[in-house]
Amino acid sequence: MSKQYFYTGSYRVILMLILFGICFHYTADAQDIQVGARLDKSSIPIGDQTVLHLTARIPAKSVIAFPELKDSIGKIKIVKSIKPDTVLDKNNPASETITHNYTITSFDTGVYVIPELEFQTKAGNFKTGTVTLQVKAVLVDTTKAFYDIKQPFAVNYNFWDWLKDHWKLVLGILVGILLIIVIIYYLKNRPEAIIIKKAVPALPVDVIAINKLQELRDKKLWLQNEVKLHYIELTDILREYLEKRYHISTQEQTTAEIFEGLKNKDMPADARNKLKQLLSLADLVKFAKERPSSNENEQNIENAIEFITITREEVKLIDSKEEGTA
């Protein structure tokens, strides 16, 4: 029993020593930490500027959180935050001083008090004292006469002075001119290259339009929350087809203006109705935030392909025998 009592007592003593060491460590750190706030000038004319210095003297490599100052402190405006500065104590290398500087001003006269600012550390929170800033009005001496604005002084600045200041620009221009002359000379005297291009038959407008519609269908933009973009591309394809097929202007035209241009064109009634439904639905999606279902989006691609198939221009093939006879 005596050994057990001895061990228990020893544990208690060690635990008390550890707790005492921690408390002493934080107390020692707290005593080593000093914070403060001061102004370069405690009194300024209205609109003038001064610098607010926030300093913290702490043990080297300790962590401290400075107060966050944003755009203003009441009617005192923070113009800019200057880069923090850290200085080691020459007499005590284990201590360092960190300074945050803020350029401040005010556009209202009066006496303003910067309240206590709180710093946060592991050893506790520390506050600065208050700082007072007096903003004075600018006095105007009305007893003195007004004077005319002085005219600018004439400066003797000749061409050689200008050339010294802009010689890089002049050199660049001369090099550019020389380079242009060389390129022109080369283009005029270069040997002509014979380029033989194989003629590629142009695709009919309906084939081009149907190919583009099939590419648009494969992209499935509506599954990517791009329903509006889907109908913009769909109507662009239809507008391009109508313009080439019926020779009407469709760019920057409303749906009503497009149908006005198609009024005298030869087009089946069912194709005209199908086109009107497509363009009207596209207008609702683009301007009224209509949200068709996925099935409707796919079906509208098929409707557009069907419209082009119905209205495509028939190509008359000339029989070779008839051509020889003619």
Same domain for 213 and 128: no
- pLDDT band for 317, please (50, 70, 90 cuts): very low
pLDDT at residue 99 tops 70 = yes
- pLDDT band for 31, please (50, 70, 90 cuts): low
One-letter amino acid identity for 14? I
Phi-psi region of 74 (alpha: psi -120 to 50; beta: other; left: phi over 0): left
Check residues 159 and 237 and name the one with the higher pLDDT.
Answer: 237
* Residue 109, in any domain of the structure: yes
Which of 136, 159, 174 is the last residue in one of the domains? Answer: 136
* Residue 70, in any domain of the structure: yes
* Residue 79, in any domain of the structure: yes
* Residue 195, in any domain of the structure: no
pLDDT at residue 139 tops 80 = no
Q: Tell which residue, 204, 226, 220, has the closest CA to residue 300.
A: 220
> Of all residues in the chain, what percent carry a pLDDT higher than 90?
33
pLDDT at residue 4 tops 90 = no
Cα dihedral 132, 134, 135, 139, rounded to 10, equals: -170
Give the tokens for residue 33: 């930490």
pLDDT confidence of residue 42: 92
User: How far is the C-alpha of 290 from the C-alpha of 284, rounded, in Å?
Assistant: 5
* Residue 22, in any domain of the structure: no
pLDDT at residue 184 tops 80 = yes
Which of 120, 136, 152 is the last residue in one of the domains? Answer: 136
pLDDT at residue 25 tops 80 = no
Digit-coded pLDDT (tens) for 242-292? 899 898 888 888 989 888 888 888 889 898 898 889 889 888 988 888 889
- pLDDT band for 16, please (50, 70, 90 cuts): low
DSSP string, 83-103: EEEEEE-SS-TTEEEEEEEEE
Which residue carries 């600065």 as its tokens?
Answer: 128
Same domain for 126 and 40: yes
DSSP classification of residue 178: H
- pLDDT band for 138, please (50, 70, 90 cuts): confident
Total domains in the chain come to 2
Summarize the confidence of residues 133-153 as an average pLDDT: 76
pLDDT confidence of residue 325: 46
pLDDT at residue 159 tops 50 = yes
pLDDT confidence of residue 320: 43
State the first-to-last Cα distance of the chain, in angstroms, to the nearest integer.
133
Same domain for 306 and 209: yes
* Residue 274, in any domain of the structure: yes
Q: Which of 17-31, 139-153, 281-295 has the highest mean pLDDT?
A: 281-295
Digit-coded pLDDT (tens) for 202-220? 889 999 999 999 998 999 9
Give the tokens for residue 85: 């500065």
Residue 257 phi, psi dihedral angles, 5° rounding = -70, -35
Contacts 24+ apart (CB under 8 A), 29-32: 29/59, 29/62, 29/121, 29/122, 29/123, 30/121, 30/123, 30/124, 32/57, 32/58, 32/59, 32/95
- pLDDT band for 319, please (50, 70, 90 cuts): very low
Same domain for 304 and 210: yes
User: How far is the C-alpha of 246 from the C-alpha of 259, rounded, in Å?
Assistant: 11
User: How far is the C-alpha of 306 from the C-alpha of 262, rounded, in Å?
Assistant: 18
Expressed as residue numbers, the domain containing 54 is: 32-136
The answer for residues whose C-beta is within 8 angstroms of residue 138's C-beta and 6 or more apart is 45, 46, 47
- pLDDT band for 198, please (50, 70, 90 cuts): low
pLDDT confidence of residue 135: 93
SS3 240: helix
Outline where DSSP puts E strands in 89-181. Answer: 95-105, 110-114, 118-121, 124-127, 131-136
Which of 136, 164, 188 is the last residue in one of the domains? Answer: 136
Residue 77 phi, psi dihedral angles, 5° rounding = -95, 135
* Residue 199, in any domain of the structure: no
- pLDDT band for 237, please (50, 70, 90 cuts): very high
The total number of residues shown for the chain amounts to 326
* Residue 14, in any domain of the structure: no
Same domain for 36 and 116: yes
Summarize the confidence of residues 94-115 as an average pLDDT: 92
Q: What is the CATH number of the domain that holds 90?
A: 2.60.40.10
Mean per-residue pLDDT over the chain, rounded: 83
One-letter amino acid identity for 142? T
Same domain for 217 and 131: no
